[in-house]
Amino acid sequence: MQTEQAAAADTVIDAALSDLAQGEEKWSRLPLAGRRALLDRVRALTGQHAQEWVAAAARIKGLDATSPLVGEEWMSGPYAFATALAAVSRTLDSLEQGVSPLAKAKFGAAGNQVTVQVLPTSLYDELLLNGFRADIWLQRGVSSAAARANAGLAQLDPTRTHGIGAVLGAGNISSIAPLDTVYELIAHNRVVALKLNPVTDPLLPVLEKIFAPLIDLAVVRILTGGADIGGRLIAHEKVAHVHMTGSAATHDAIVWGTGPDATARKAAGAPLLDKPISSELGGVSPTIVLPGRWSASDLRFQAEHIATQRLHNGGYNCVAAQAVIISAEWAQKDEFLKALAAALDRAPSRRAYYPGSDDRVAAARSTYPDARRLGGHGERTLITGLDPTAAEQLYSTEYFAPVLGVVELPETGAAFAGAAVDTANERLTGTLGVNIVAHPDTIAALGTEFEDLIERLRYGTIAVNAWTAVGYLTPTASWGAYPGHTLDDVQSGIGVVHNAWLIDRIERTVVRGPFRPAPRSLLNREWALTPKPPWFVTNRTAAQTGRLLTAFAAEPRWSRLPAIFASALRG
């Protein structure tokens, strides 16, 4: 039976890759205008089938169709994909006109590095995400002139294709696999065999409808099945490159194999995989809380903010906050911890849908038996009172579950901030994302030292008074690990995705947001109009706002904005 199943799988894979080999020839002859038209059609189909997409994702995760939590599926599913398609389409339009995608970009500087402002980039951004900003930092030595000249990546020579890329999709966020597919197709000019994660196999029917223009041209094929199918796909001689999203353990199993043989291969520098691989992996994401003088409203809001960083999508995010680093000498430490526990406790309950979640939670509770059980069914774990000597497991194990730990370091002010950055850089596994929460007065008091702290952090996305997921949702931002990882120490991965302006040699993305939501932001002279963001797990109108934002992303119209604003203000 196994032999028959293997033969059937090989037949499906062979047929898909044969189709893609023919599709690559068609793709090489398709001009930029034709490519842009295809992406525009995919975006229109995303809008048409968005409800079906969200309904399938909600069923996978066991969400009640009437729950505000369905807003997560709108925002991190069709909304994220539609906004990215629009941004990539504009990039192709610029290249078609012989103009760099960065021709009108705002360049700046951070230390001795050149930066590119990637949010806001339009009046729509200014209105919908008022108070938020994101900048890409280019690698050291890259000038603004070089960035302009090289923006476009493989689309600078669209006739030169690069074979077939195999994309191994993620099982948690439903837009990851579609976004990675488009990035392979556009940034690297590779046709794509997308293998869905078995968790997301129920999305196949709607994804086939949305990707129909690219499937019809035979530049995309979507496969389902288990690890055996993925293994056969990436080992196929017709596959030139592999991109995966998942864990470092899965990456190493793909690259080196498993067991003693894998150890020997790694020691010899002889990977089992015989082709290049890029990856977006997880890790232990920290949130650094700088001590300051906060109001009661500030404490409640930031507690909900950090609870969201952990509990969004049930905690099954590669960039979910896991280690909160605070000052043991902060005068408001106890107030903050009380507010954080309350926010975790009252957030909506949900099913632990991701495989292995209960085992990982149990492992955390075994390591930290004094941890608190919170939530309606005690499904959340809060570990407090940790000093650095007791935090090793929290620092090194990505729980990928609703587990949050709080680590206390000595000192306050610049001394604490520096120690927190050192801890994040040197002690925690992974480099995908780090959050910093700081009162504007604290940032002002640190002055240039605060910017030095950001420069010292070695993470692919840094968020100040925002969650790093804002970088994920910003199509012109980059998403991926801090550069420099290798196959034998992959950490949070190799390479970047998203990056709709197709910028070369990126180091990181830095996101900044308001410390307070509107209207309190205005009353405290922050001049930010954004109310409680729709991605907060406590947002009461998240589902409606997410649906309205998705419709706008698929087909922007000024007439759609009043309803979005009205829904957002009620959140």
SS (H, E, C) 421-460: HHHHHHCCCCCCEEEEECCHHHHHHHCHHHHHHHHHCCCC
Q: What pTM was estimated for this model as a whole?
A: 0.97
pLDDT of residue 91: 98
**Dihedrals φ, ψ of 464, to 5°?**
-105, 115
Name residues whose C-beta falls within 8 Å of residue 91's C-beta, 6 or more positions apart in sequence: 101, 152, 155, 500, 501, 502
Share above pLDDT 70 across residues of the chain, in percent, rounded to a whole number: 100
pLDDT single digits (tens) 232-282 = 999 999 999 999 999 999 999 999 999 888 989 999 999 999 999 999 999
The residues spanned by each domain of the chain are 2-101+154-246, 285-539
DSSP calls for 27-88 = HHH--HHHHHHHHHHHHHHHHHTHHHHHHHHHHHHT--TTSTTHHHHHIIIIIHHHHHHHHH
Instruction: Read off the pLDDT band of 2 (50, 70, 90).
Output: low
Place of tokens 């099982």: 171
Query: pLDDT value at position 3?
Result: 78
Predicted confidence (pLDDT) per residue in 196-235, tens digit: 999 999 999 999 999 999 999 999 999 999 989 999 999 9
List Cβ neighbours of 223 (8 Å cut-off, separation of 6 or more).
Answer: 12, 13, 16, 193, 194, 195, 196, 229, 233
* pLDDT score of 535: 97
Report the SS3 class of residue 307. Answer: helix
Residue-averaged pLDDT of the chain: 97
For 2-101+154-246, CATH gives: 3.40.605.10
pLDDT band at residue 70 using 50, 70 and 90 as cut-offs: very high
For domain 285-539, the CATH architecture is 3-Layer(aba) Sandwich (3.40)
Mean pLDDT for the stretch of residues 301-309: 98
pLDDT of 1 higher than 60 = no
Q: How many CA atoms lie within 13 A of 523 on its CB side?
A: 8
Instruction: Note the pLDDT of residue 51.
Output: 98
| Confidence (pLDDT) at 5 | 77
pLDDT beyond 70 at 369: yes
Question: Nearest CA to 536 among 72, 199, 215?
Answer: 72
Q: What is the pLDDT of residues 143-180, one digit of tens each?
A: 999 999 999 999 999 999 999 999 999 999 999 999 99
Report residue 146: phi and psi, to 5°: -65, -40
Tell me how far apart the terminal alpha carbons of the chain are, to the nearest angstrom.
Answer: 54
- Tens digits of per-residue pLDDT, 491-525? 999 999 999 999 999 999 999 999 999 999 998 98
Tens-digit pLDDT profile for residues 413-433: 999 999 999 999 999 999 999
The pLDDT tens digits of the residues spanning 375-418 come to: 988 999 999 999 999 999 999 999 999 999 999 999 999 999 99
